[in-house]
């Protein structure tokens, strides 16, 4: 599994999540539950942009999260723009036990309550620090330095929050991939979104084949600039390269090469014989545990 940030900053929690998931697999647990548990541990950390550490939207108040799980048996669960839950990855896992694949917005939150997930709203100090930096960039007219997708766009003219005016107001994904003793691959992905964001913005983590994919050939989780990942269907593209017979490490490198240097992108992937971690910046950190 991996997440954005410097290796020294996040290695402790990554290792804990990885070891916990591995222990579950060693006991005969399935890969879907293993990646879900790894993602839950990272969501609880507060330093990652997922779960408790999710970024604030442009209004400085709203938190909307996306999360997804998938395995090579065809189980898929997705929540999009869900609010007021501690662990969106657990809600996504619960969606796999319904006739649906994806739930969004108020429906996703209502489903969480129905399944017993208690209301939760928390802004970590890391999320507050990110928002303060973002707000300063907006004041200085340098928003595109934080996110290239905003180059040439005026924030005020696109403002769509009704709980606070523009005048009053003024990014990283976690992922886990695994294979269990039965040879089933699984992936989990969770994010608080990409800062800065308009209300209702959906990124790659909630879109199958973009931020995540799992099939008979392996499992893949991605991170980076969501809009650009969606445009390239990053996860499925790399998966198809692997399915065609390419080595997983070469396949991931080819995937990263689809992005220009200024667009951040990272990927983790696992197959039956190997794994790969690739990124075009130092944004991605990972921890690996494998059976000896």
CB-facing half-sphere around the CA of 152: CA atoms within 13 A: 1
Q: Specify which residues 70 forms β-bridges with.
A: 76, 187
Q: In whole angstroms, what is the distance from residue 284 CA to residue 264 CA? A: 10
The DSSP letter of residue 55 is P
Contact 73, 96 (CB under 8 A): no
Contact 238, 256 (CB under 8 A): no
173, 222, 223, 271: the catalytic one is 173
Place of tokens 């548990």: 37
Q: Specify which residues 80 forms β-bridges with.
A: 104
* Residue 173: active-site member: yes
The DSSP letter of residue 211 is T
Q: In whole angstroms, what is the distance from residue 220 CA to residue 211 CA? A: 8
The DSSP-derived string for 23-51 is: HHHHTT--HHHHHHHHHHHHHTTSSSSSG
Q: In whole angstroms, what is the distance from residue 55 CA to residue 179 CA? A: 30
Q: Which residues are catalytic?
A: 173
């Amino acid at each position: 599994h991996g997440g954005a940030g410097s290796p020294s900053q996040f290695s402790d929690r990554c290792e804990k999540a990885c070891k916990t998931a591995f222990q579950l697999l060693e006991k005969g647990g399935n890969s879907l539950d293993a990646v879900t548990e790894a993602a839950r541990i990272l969501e609880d950390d507060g330093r990652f942009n997922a779960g408790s550490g999710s970024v604030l939207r442009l209004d400085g108040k709203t938190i909307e999260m996306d999360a997804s799980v998938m395995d090579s048996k065809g189980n898929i669960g997705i929540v999009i723009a869900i609010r007021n839950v501690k662990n969106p990855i657990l809600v996504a896992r619960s969606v796999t036990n319904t006739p649906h694949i994806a739930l969004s917005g108020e429906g996703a939150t209502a489903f969480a309550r129905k399944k017993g997930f208690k209301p939760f709203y928390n802004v970590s100090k890391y999320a507050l620090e990110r928002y303060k930096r973002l707000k300063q960039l907006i004041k200085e007219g340098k928003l595109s330095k934080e996110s290239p997708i905003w180059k040439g766009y005026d924030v005020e003219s696109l403002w769509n929050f009704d709980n606070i005016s523009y005048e009053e107001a003024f990014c990283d994904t976690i992922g886990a991939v695994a294979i269990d003793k039965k040879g089933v691959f699984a992936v989990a992905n969770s994010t608080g979104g990409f800062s800065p964001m308009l209300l209702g913005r959906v990124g790659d983590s909630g879109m199958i084949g973009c931020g995540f994919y799992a099939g008979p050939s392996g499992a893949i989780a991605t991170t980076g600039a969501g809009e650009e990942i969606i445009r390239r269907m990053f996860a499925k593209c790399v998966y198809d390269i692997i399915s065609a017979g390419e080595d997983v490490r070469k396949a991931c490198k080819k995937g990263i090469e689809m992005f220009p240097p200024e667009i951040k992108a990272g990927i983790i992937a696992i197959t039956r014989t190997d794994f790969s971690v690739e990124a075009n910046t130092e944004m991605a950190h990972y921890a690996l545990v494998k059976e000896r």
